[in-house]
Chains A and B, each alone.
Chain A
Amino acid sequence: MPGSGFIRVMLMLKNLAFVIATSMAALTSLAAFANEEREYGEYLAGECTSCHRDGANETIPPIVGYEVWAFVSLMDTYRNGERDNQAMVSVAKSLDEEQIKALAIYFASVEPKGN
C-alpha cells in the first residue's frame, strides 16, 4: 500500500477535527456504528466474491473502489430494470437498502489492486 501511512495520518487529523466538533461519546458511538456497518458489509461481500474478484477486467467486473453513491446507483440499475443480467438482478433484488449501503461502504474501503 504505497502512501498508506500518509493516508492514515490524514484520516487521523480528519478524525481529530471531528472530535473537536462533536462530543467524545458521539464519536465513539458513530465509530462503533460505522465499524459495524463496514463489518456487516464485509460479511455480505462474501456473497459477491464468489463471482467478483479484484484485478478482473472482463465479463464480471471488479467492484472495489467505487464511491459509495456510484456503487449504490450501479446496484439500482439491476433493481430498476435498467440492466437485466439475471444473476445480478437476483443478487441486487435480494438485498435491502441498508445492506447495499453496508456493501458500498465496505467495497469503497478496499483499495483496488489496479491492473
Chain B
Amino acid sequence: MSQLSRRNFNIMLGATGAATLASTAIGTFAYAQGKGRVVIIGGGAGGGTVAHLVKKGAPGLDVTLVEANAQYTSCFFSNLYLGGFRSFESITHSYDGLKKLGVNVVTDYATGVDSAKKTVTLRGGATLAYDKLVLSPGIDFKWGGIEGYSDDAAQMMPHAWKAGAQTQVLKKQLEAMKAGGTVIMSPPPNPFRCPPGPYERASMIASYLKANKPGSKLIIMDPKPKFSKQALFQEGWAAHYQDIIEWVPPDLTGGGVKKVDAKAMTVTTGDGETVKADVANIIPAQMAGKIVHVAGCSDGDWCPINPADFSSTKVKDIYVIGDASIAKKMPKSGFSANSQAKVVANSVLAALAGKKKFPARYRNTCWSLISANNGVKVGASYKAGADMVEVNSKFISKTGETAELRKQTFEESLDWYTAMTNEMFAKG
C-alpha cells in the first residue's frame, strides 16, 4: 500500500479553501437557526443515525427519539457473541451520546400516530407533536406461520432475531446442551431482516459446537431452496463443519418446519416428520414493526416509500426507513438502514433548516463470519429510480480466497461495527 503524507489542519488549502472555511462558519450558523420538531420512533440502526445527524446538522431543531428500551443490543455481531467471538457487553449500547448531543431520548413505546394532527402518543401517556416523523421500528413477527410457535414458545425455542434477552437464552441453551446433542434451526421465509444472518448464525453455532460440544449436529430445515452467499457458506461448511452442519432444502421436508411443540422440544416438518431437538432456533416470518401499520404507512407487511428520500408514499411528512420499508433490491440490514438514514437526515434538514437537498445515494455491505478470521462480504451501491431503489453495481467475496484476504475482510467488519455504532449513538 503506497503511503501518502497526511497533512495537518494548519496547512492552507489556498484561496478556495480559505473561502470554503470562512463561508462554512456562516453556513453552520444558518442551519443552527433551524426551527421545528422532528420525532423519530425506534433508536436502532436507522433511527439512531437520523437523530444524530439531524441534531448535529441543525442544533436548533427539537429532536426527540422514542425508543422502547433503555439500551440497544445490536443484532449485528450477535451471531459472533453466540460463536464466542464477541462479548454481550460489546454489542450493547447506551443512548448517552445522543442525549449529550441534545437529542431528547424518551424511553417509552409509541402506540399511536395521528397523521392529521401530526402527533404521536406514547404508552406512558405523553403526546408529542411533530413537523417531520421518522419511523424506524425494525420488525415484528408474524406468529401463526408455524403452528404452536408464539412469544411464549420463544422462551423455550428462541428466535433471537431481535437481539437482547432472546440472544442470551439461545447462548445459555447451547452452553447447557450435552455433547452429541442436536440443534435445529428453522430460517425464516423471504423477505426478512439480514438475508445472510441465519447462515452466519449456523456457522457461529457450529464453530461453538466444534470447540465445546463434540459429536453435536446442527440441522437447518430451510423453507427456501437457496440463500444469500450460499456458495461461500457451503464452501466454508464443507471445510470446517462437514460433520456438524446439515442444510436441508424445502423439497426434502415438505417446506421446512410447520409445527413445533415447545414443551416436548419437537419440531414437525411439512412432510409430517417429527424430530426432537436439544436446542431449537425458530426464526419466524417477519413484517414491519407495529407502529407503521398504526400510522397507516404500510401496504401489507411492509411500507412503500419514495426512493428519492424514503418518505412514505402513503402518509405526508412521515419517512419510513430500515427493515420496515420496502427497499426492494436493498436488503434489510443495519448498513442499509444507516445509509437510508443519511438521505432522510438530508431531506429533513432541507425541509426544516434550509440545507441543500442532494440526490440520494445508498449503499449496503454485509460481512459474515464463517469461522475464526474467515470473513466474507457482499455489497452494492444503489440509486433512486423512478419508482424504486435500483442497483448501480454489486460485489461479493469469491470462493477460494486466501486466508489472508479472509482475515482482512473479517477485520474490516470490526472497524465497520465501531464506525456504524459510533454514528448510531453519537459516540467517539
Contact = CB atoms under 8 A, between A and B. Distances in A.
A14 B9 contact: no
Contacts of B229: none
A45 B259 CA distance: 48
Interface in B1-60: 1-2, 4-13, 15-24, 26-27, 53
Given A3-B10, A109-B20, A87 B397 contact: no
Interface string A48-90: 0111111110111000011110100110010000010011011
Nearest to A111: B9
- Please indicate which of the listed interface residues A34, A50, A91, A109 has the most CB atoms of chain B within 10 Å of its own CB: A50
Nearest to B22: A15
A31 B22 contact: yes
A11 B18 contact: yes
B27 A39 contact: yes
Contacts, number: 164
Contact of B2 (A37, A38, A77, A90): A77
B368 interface: no
A90 B393 CA distance: 7
A66 B24 contact: no
Interface stretch (B124-132, B157-165, B406-414): B406-414
A17 B377 CA distance: 51
Contacts of B13: 68, 105, 108-109
A59 B408 contact: yes
Interface residues of A, number: 56
Contacts of B392: 94
A53 B418 contact: yes
Contact of A59 (B7, B23, B411): B411
A32 B23 CA distance: 7
Contacts of B363: 47, 50, 90-91, 94
A58 B419 contact: no
A11 B12 contact: yes
Interface in A6-31: 7-8, 10-12, 14-15, 18, 27, 30-31
B8 A90 contact: no
Given A43-B358, A50-B339, A91-B381, A30 B16 contact: yes
Contacts of A86: 377, 379, 395-397
A71 to B, nearest CB: 8
B415 interface: yes
B79 interface: no
Contacts of A94: 361, 363, 381, 392-393
Contacts of B2: 77
Contact of A87 (B4, B17, B342, B377): B377
Q: What band does the interface of chain B fall in when counting residues whose beta carbon is under 8 Å from A? A: 35 or more
A7 B422 CA distance: 29
Contacts of B319: none
B23 A35 contact: yes
A35 B1 contact: no
A27 to B, nearest CB: 7
A53 B422 contact: yes
Contacts of B419: 49-53, 56, 60
Contact of B22 (A11, A39, A90, A91): A11
Given A47-B361, A50-B416, A65-B7, A90 B17 contact: no
Nearest to A66: B6
Contacts of B380: 90
A97 interface: no
A94 B423 CA distance: 23
A55 B422 CA distance: 12
A14 B418 contact: no
A15 B411 contact: no
A35 to B, nearest CB: 4
A93 B365 CA distance: 15
B241 interface: no
B330 to A, nearest CB: 14
B4 A66 contact: yes
A98 B414 CA distance: 31
Interface string B361-383: 10101000000000001011100
Contacts of B53: 46
A83 B358 CA distance: 29
Contacts of B338: 50
Contacts of A49: 419, 423
A70 B13 CA distance: 13
Contacts of A58: 411, 414-415
10 contacts: A12-B22, A31-B23, A35-B23, A35-B27, A43-B342, A49-B419, A59-B408, A66-B7, A67-B11, A86-B396
Interface of A: 3, 7-8, 10-12, 14-15, 18, 27, 30-32, 34-40, 43-44, 46-47, 49-56, 58-60, 65-68, 70, 73-74, 77, 83, 86-87, 89-91, 93-94, 105, 108-109, 111-112
